[in-house]
Amino acid sequence: MLNPHPLPQPDTARPRLVVVGNGMAGIRAVEELLKFAPDLYDITVFGAEPHPNYNRILLSPVLAGEQTIDQIVLNPLSWYAEQGIDLRLGRKVTRIDRVRRVVQADDGSETPYDRVLLATGSKPFMLPVPGKDLQGVIAYRDIADTQAMIEAATQYKDAVVIGGGLLGLEAANGLMRRGMQVTVVHLMPWLMERQLDDVAGRLLQQSLEQRGLRFRLGAQTEQLLGDEAGRVRAVRFKDGSEAPAQLVVMAAGIRPNTDLALDAGLHCIYDGRGGVAVSDTLQSLTDPRIYAVGECAAHRGITYGLVAPLFEQGKVCATHLAHFGIGRYTGSQTSTKLKVTGIDLFSAGNFSGGAGCEEIVMSDPAGGVYKKLVIQDDKLVGACLYGDTVDGSWYFKLLREGRAIADIRDKLMFGESNIGDTGHEGITRAAAMADSDEVCGCNGVSKGTICKAIKDKGLFTLDEVRKHTKASASCGSCTGLVEQLLMFTAGGDYSKPPTKKAMCGCTDASHHDAREAIREHHLLSIDAVYKHLGWRTPNGCASCRPAINYYLISTWPKEAKDDPQSRFINERSHANIQKDGTYSVIPRMWGGETTADELRRIANAVDKYKIRTVKVTGGQRIDLLGVKKEDLPAVWKDIGMPSGHAYAKALRTVKTCVGSEWCRFGTQDSTQMGKDLERALWRMYAPHKVKLAVSGCPRNCAESGIKDVGVIGVESGWEIYVGGNGGIKTEVAQFLCKLKTPLEVLEYSGAFLQLYREEGWYLERTVHYIGRVGLDYVKKRILEDAAGRLALWERLQFALDGEPDPWFEFSKAQVDLRQFQALPAVNTNELVGAK
Amino acid sequence: MSNWIRICRLEDIPALGSRRVQREQGAPVALFRAADDHVFALLDRCPHKGGPLSQGIVFGHSVACPLHNWSIGLADGCAQAPDVGCTTKFSVRVAQGTVMLDADELRSLALHDAKVAA
């Protein structure tokens, strides 16, 4: 059948994308689309405001006089021109004709489309009271409103803000900063009731009152009264009282802007906040040519108003528009932060508790600090913080991950830094830091540098800050601080919300997905994994390929082939690369014991190969630093000791004290136990490095308490501790069990390590593995299931049986010896052609 | 006008790997072989802190520097944004499985960069 309404002929061959709405959600989706498919569409963007895309969240700092409008522009007009986008500013779209596939605007124009992206955001809810149309009664939504408020503050004295939520308080604070007397009117008994519980709400009120704001809580607005000139002069309440106001700001809520969608016959929902009903690919349920993102879209019945979910939607929508079809949006968890300078407040999840919930509360009203954590079924489900919010992002992370918290419950209230944090002791509040203060100790990045990059480059996510500044890109322990700076500088909470984290940019698969696929489908090569899971890149990247290689060889020992080109240089050259490109060599000394003969050979090698530095390591070994790569095989051979694997994600050392053989306090032969463990476990590759220690008595001279597996001899046997770590965060190992014999120590330690090898994610230390699965789970597998424990121990022995020493068995260990020789470029006799 | 000299056979370079070429003068040149058998040559120094790129992990047409994980494009020698900086690139010719570099370039390009020790 012929189409009775022929399509308008496009003047180019490219499909047309019409974006309705020039705000943060729509333009973010366009940016993502341009990244995936720069030339796929002819793009037209309609914006009702006469401004390019700006950061709406930062209107509050603009109102408060802390930033200017120019500073909050995200995409200058030149950006649209460079991208070839047809930008129609100050034009309102009036109708979408889905039959003829054209978009009509208020200037009478018709723009044909192949796809439409609705990003119309929301509109303010105006209280339907008499007088709402008087002059001086405005909403708080865009630049024009903000300018009207700034303007009013220069002429008038009294303002009333209706609505004591996030937006209302930010407006009130801004107007007060501009010199107005401000009264906040709120229907509910306490402020920000959707984000705060009553205690925190009252603390907030007190602190805002101290700054000069006035409040009318539980007050119902009846009428707005005007003067002869038609301008508002006062607000009258139900009880008959009045408050003077020459400016009234309505901040009593927002509604998704669905006018266009309804008119076009798209299915919209009305539950909750409402919005255009969209699928997991952000297509409207009614018409797959029409997408909707941001505050106007309702996904699975939920409308999001915060930036992180909107950006996530934008990304998924862009992949679909780009015909990738890989992404699905499955919803987000959100958290809240008030942008009133000097007030720290954070909430997330179910902070009000209820049936089946437990609460941990810390309240210090005099000190202005209040924290409430809500726990359900051994998981953190909500947090409400006032006055000290430094751990907000940590709580939010725990909440999203749904991690069991029994093991950290007693420390939970005191925050992440209380679990032992080295490197930036003493800094707790990002806002209080000076610009010159260092945030990232690894890369030497100051607060000022980070804030400048966020502002100048328009950064929104932790990942972007890491890429641009390197802050928190190394050890990651300042992540919480950097997230706080993002909140303060860019507004909102920009930490990435998904609970399932993709391994890297090459894939949407998580580490868990990859491990599962390899095990379930018996995958034996990196290519097979990439194919099975639909990797986007042909051979991965430096982040995912080593991980997949490890998963293959740990899941299918003797079957999957190790790929040296998928290993980091240290594991390819079996030595540690140093900053000048030389290497270090650390031979294995069983249990930390050596002999005169070995020391003589080491000394001779040091002289012969002119090795500059000889150093004793923390793990009781000898480190030879400054070895040239071409000398490595000869140094190994001359020293004649096994590889120490000090360069590998593998068993490093078993540190020991002298034990009962010499020590007058020793109760057990710790040195022999250490040697036995090291001989049983060496050549064991793992998700990350693995360090052991054995002490012969509870004085614990081998520091067993901060090792992946720590063994402590006591009069009646051995105590086993797991998950210790002496690194960035000093983590004290947790008691696993007490054993009688050295053979049991081998079996239990080996079984635990095999469990970690089979289930740990690449680059996850034992402490983080245990944190993820819970110590109870480990106990169940190792202590309560004797057959399972034995099976684990046997699998480890099978995997290690016959494994080569890479310093001597080159071909068996797949050491490519060509890497130790440079190719000459001097043979000019072999001239092969001149042209 | 190019003055090609033979360096090695294609199979002398491991796939998704590299070899170093020692010059008479100047820092070595790193030869890379991508999975699709494209061969690239860059000065063996990362533009960041001089790390030996030949020791990095090769993926696609990029290499990750072993020192601080900068991604360097093999075709142009330039760091992937937002990092900035480029290392010198050298012309490569592969004919009948023989990998060749330009003798004039080897003799003249990037001679005075500080030497990389590896």
pLDDT tens by residue, A256-289: 999 999 999 999 987 666 899 999 999 999 999 9
pLDDT band at A634 (very low <50, low <70, confident <90, very high): very high
- Pairing verdict, β A690-695 and A709-714: parallel
What proportion of chain A, given as a percentage, has pLDDT over 90?
65
Query: Does the structure show a pLDDT above 90 at A394?
Result: no
Give CA–CA dist A124/A143, Å, rounded: 14
Domain count, chain A: 5
Domain that holds residue A429: 424-499
**CB-based contact (8 Å) between B64 and chain A?**
yes
Residue A506 lies in a domain: no
Q: How far is Cα A369 from Cα A199, in angstroms, rounded to an integer?
A: 11
Interface check for B12 against chain A (CB to CB < 8 A): the answer is yes
Structure token pair of residue A297: 């879209």
A829 contact B CB<8A: no
Smallest CA-to-CA distance from B43 within B117, B113, B118 is with B113
Q: Range with the lowest mean pLDDT among A44-53, A192-201, A469-478?
A: A469-478
Between A7-16, A291-300, A408-417, the lowest mean confidence (pLDDT) is in A7-16
Give CA–CA dist A319/A686, Å, rounded.
35
Q: How many beta-carbon pairs under 8 angstroms link A with B? A: 125
A435: exposed, middle or buried (C-beta count within 10 Å: 0-12, 13-18, 19+)?
exposed
Rounded (10°) CA dihedral A555, A559, A564, A570: 50
- Name the amino acid, one letter, at A434: A
> Has residue A389 got a pLDDT over 90?
no
| A745 belongs to a structural domain | yes
- From residue A756, alpha-carbon distances to A668, A688, A690, A782 in Å are 27, 10, 10, 11
Domains of chain B: 4-108 (2.102.10.10)
Alpha-carbon torsion, ordered A61, A64, A67, A73, to 10 deg: 50
Q: Supply the DSSP string of A718-750, one letter for each residue.
A: EEEEE--B-SSS-BPPEEEEEESSHHHHHHHHH
A261 shares its domain with A242: no
Please choose, from the candidates A796, A797, A820, A801, the residue with its C-alpha nearest in 3D space to the C-alpha of residue A812: A801
Question: Which pLDDT tens digit goes with each residue over A109-156?
Answer: 999 999 999 999 998 888 899 999 999 999 998 999 999 999 999 999
- Whether A372 maps to a domain, the answer reads no
The conformation of residue A782, written as its DSSP 8-state character, comes to: I
A452 Cβ under 8 Å from any chain B Cβ: no
Separation between Cα atoms, residue A235 and residue A526, nearest integer Å = 70
pLDDT value of position A424? 42
- CB within 8 Å: B66 and A568: yes
Say what the pLDDT of residue A417 is: 61
pLDDT band at A341 (very low <50, low <70, confident <90, very high): low
pLDDT at A268: 92
In a domain, A595, yes or no: no
Domain assignment present for A403: no
| Chain B residues in contact with A581 (beta carbon < 8 A) | 50-52, 55, 116-118
| A822/B8 CB distance under 8 A | no
Residues A710 and A778 in one domain: yes
Q: What's the rounded Cα separation, in Å, for the pair A158 and A140?
A: 17
Q: Which of A378-382, A454-458, A734-738, A824-828 has the lowest mean pLDDT?
A: A824-828
| Contact predicate A589/A682, CB 8 Å | no
Please give the pLDDT value at position A466.
84
Q: How many degrees, rounded to 5, is the angle at CA A337 between CA A335 and CA A338?
A: 150
Same domain, residue pair A143 and A289: no
Instruction: Give DSSP secondary structure letters for A596-649.
Output: HHHHHHHHHHHHHTT--EEEE-TTS-EEEEEE-GGGHHHHHHHH---B--TTSS
Using DSSP's 3-state secondary structure scheme, residue A100 falls into: coil
Q: Which alpha helices (DSSP H) does A322-476 contain, by range?
A: 392-401, 409-412, 447-457, 462-469
Is residue A23 located within the same domain as residue A39?
A: yes
- A537, closest residue in chain B (CA to CA): B60
Q: What is d(CA A391, CA A429) in angstroms, rounded to the nearest whole number?
A: 10
Q: Per the omega criterion (within 30 degrees of 0), is the bond before B82 cis? A: yes
Which pLDDT score, from 0 to 100, does residue A835 have? 37
Q: Are the beta carbons of A291 and A284 closer than 8 angstroms?
A: yes
CB-side neighbour CA atoms (13 Å) of A680? 24
CB hemisphere CA count around A547 (13 angstroms): 25
Question: Is A822's Cβ below 8 Å from some Cβ in B?
Answer: yes
Task: Return the axis-axis angle of helices A742-759 and A766-773, rounded to nearest 10°.
Answer: 70
Q: Are A232 and A131 in contact (CB under 8 A)?
A: yes
How far apart, in whole angstroms, are the C-alpha atoms of residue A795 and residue A683? 14
Mean pLDDT of A640-669: 96
A157 plus A269 within the same structural domain: no
A485 within a domain of the structure (yes/no): yes
Say which CATH number the domain at A447 has: 1.10.10.1100
B60: nearest CB among A538, A569, A582? A538
In a domain, A700, yes or no: yes
User: Are A658 and A751 part of one and the same domain?
Assistant: yes
Instruction: Tell me the H-state helices in A322-419.
Output: 392-401, 409-412
Q: Which band of pLDDT confidence, cut at 50, 70 and 90, is reported for residue A693?
A: very high
Same domain as A553, residue A484 = no
Q: What is the pLDDT of residue A247?
A: 96
Overall size of chain A counted in residues: 835
Q: What is the pLDDT of residue B117?
A: 40
Q: Are A115 and A261 in the same domain?
A: yes
Is the pTM of the predicted complex or chain greater than 0.90? no
Which residue would you say has higher pLDDT here, A301 or B54? B54
Q: Indicate if A117 and A152 belong to the same structural domain.
A: no
Closest Cα partner for A400 from A328, A470, A493?
Answer: A493
- The number of C-alpha atoms within 13 Å of A509 and in the hemisphere containing its C-beta is 24
Task: Check residues A310 and A146 and name the one with the higher pLDDT.
Answer: A146
pLDDT tens column, A315-328: 899 999 998 867 78
